[in-house]
């Protein structure tokens, strides 16, 4: 039995590597993603490729850790930050509890040659303790859930026959708040945020089920509808200029575009300015706790590291990650 760890850029993966990554990922996470899905996800990014730490056992892929590079504005400088994602080891090959750390370090070392030395992740609760205590990732902060109910009859009363009444109420209320905030011009300006141009917009929102919303001549947003249990959830992925005005407008337009097809609208992040009709979800009702984590190269200055690891500096939402 022979193990080896090899780090590769996406452009260095063979056809067989792509096929094995697909098969092993789908097996661990019980998914049915195609090879084309992974190629699109890993190569539609700032550098044109991602970096993969790969664990081979007798020349078969049994584990992987991927870093997707994205361009950020970091205190008015352009910097590439790596999103760590899709980390796994196949069952039966997890005897060495540090093996996932080792393959992550191989990927980090390889991409550091491209001047990428800051990394972020949104690990699931099962993986969070591993990355924090065994791999020295640091907490940036916990993200909050915000919600706007569309189908109250289904969410609260479990009665589908009242869905039209619920839709009419939610549509009217969202329109009223859209009008209320139409003259509000306050918007958030943070020190760290993902940088978009036409090229990177097409790359980040490259799946067919991302829906575009034009908010006005300059502002826009994207959302995506996911099935969560028996609820159809419209997740607000990104609004390019975060404000009460734009979020209220986004909620109203999502309802107009979907009607009865959605039950609730969700926003995940830490906005300073949010409309009153976007309700903060009590923590006891969170479907899962979301801890935003980061890792810096140890040779960076203490101040730069502390700035990077402070949630107050970040404009953060689901757009920063690959969860939705």
Domains parsed from the chain with CATH numbers: 3-141+290-320 (3.40.630.30), 144-285 (3.40.630)
Residue 161 is predicted with a pLDDT of: 56
Give residue 242's pLDDT.
92
Torsions phi, psi of 8, nearest 5? -140, 145
Predicted structure pTM score: 0.92
Angle at 6 between CA 17 and CA 12, to 5 degrees: 50
A 10 A CB-CB count for 297 gives: 13
On whether the CB atoms of residues 93 and 103 are closer than 8 A, the answer is no
* Distant-in-sequence, close-in-space partners of 79: CB < 8 Å, separation ≥ 6: 71, 72, 73, 118
Please give the Cα distance from 238 to 318 (Å, whole number): 7
pLDDT for res 295: 95
Sign of the C-alpha dihedral computed for residues 117, 67, 324 and 62 taken in this order: negative
pLDDT at 34: 95
Task: Pull the structure tokens for residue 213.
Answer: 């919303």
Q: What is the pLDDT of residue 271?
A: 87
- CA 103, 109, 73, 196 dihedral sign is negative
Residue that is written with structure tokens 């039950």 in the block: 263
Q: Please, what are the averages of pLDDT over each run of 10 residues along the chain (324 residues)?
A: 91 97 96 94 92 96 97 95 96 93 96 95 92 94 94 65 74 91 87 90 88 95 92 95 94 94 94 88 90 82 83 95 80
Helical spans, DSSP H, in 112-243: 125-133, 152-155, 163-180, 198-204
């Amino acid at each position: 039995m022979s193990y080896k760890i090899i780090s590769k850029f996406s452009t260095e993966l063979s056809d067989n590597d792509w096929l094995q990554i697909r098969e092993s990922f789908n097996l661990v996470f019980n998914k049915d993603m195609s090879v084309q899905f992974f190629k699109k996800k890993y190569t539609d990014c700032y550098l044109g490729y991602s970096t993969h730490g790969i664990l081979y056992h007798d020349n078969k892929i049994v584990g992987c850790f991927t870093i997707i590079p994205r361009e950020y504005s970091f205190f008015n400088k352009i910097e590439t930050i790596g999103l760590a994602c899709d980390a796994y080891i196949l069952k039966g090959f997890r005897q060495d509890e540090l093996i996932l750390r080792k393959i992550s370090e191989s990927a980090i070392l390889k991409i550091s040659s491209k001047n990428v030395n800051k990394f972020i992740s949104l690990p699931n609760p099962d993986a969070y303790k591993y990355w924090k205590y065994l791999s020295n990732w640091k907490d940036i902060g916990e993200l909050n859930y915000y919600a706007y109910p569309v189908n109250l009859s289904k969410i609260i009363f479990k009665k589908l026959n009242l869905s039209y009444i619920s839709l009419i109420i939610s549509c009217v209320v969202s329109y009223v708040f859209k009008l209320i905030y139409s003259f509000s011009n306050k918007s958030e300006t943070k020190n760290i945020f993902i940088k978009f141009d036409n090229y990177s917009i097409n790359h980040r929102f490259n799946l067919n089920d991302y829906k575009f919303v034009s908010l006005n001549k300059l502002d826009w947003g994207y959302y995506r509808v996911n099935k969560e249990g028996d609820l159809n959830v419209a997740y607000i992925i990104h609004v390019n200029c975060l404000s009460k005005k734009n979020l209220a407008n986004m909620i109203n337009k999502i309802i107009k575009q979907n009607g009865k097809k959605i039950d609730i609208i969700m926003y995940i992040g830490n906005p300073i300015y949010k409309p009153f009709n976007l309700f903060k979800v009590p923590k006891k009702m969170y479907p899962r706790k979301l801890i935003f984590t980061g890792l810096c190269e140890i040779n960076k200055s203490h101040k730069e590291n502390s700035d990077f690891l402070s949630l107050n500096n970040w404009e953060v939402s689901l757009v920063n990650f690959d969860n939705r």
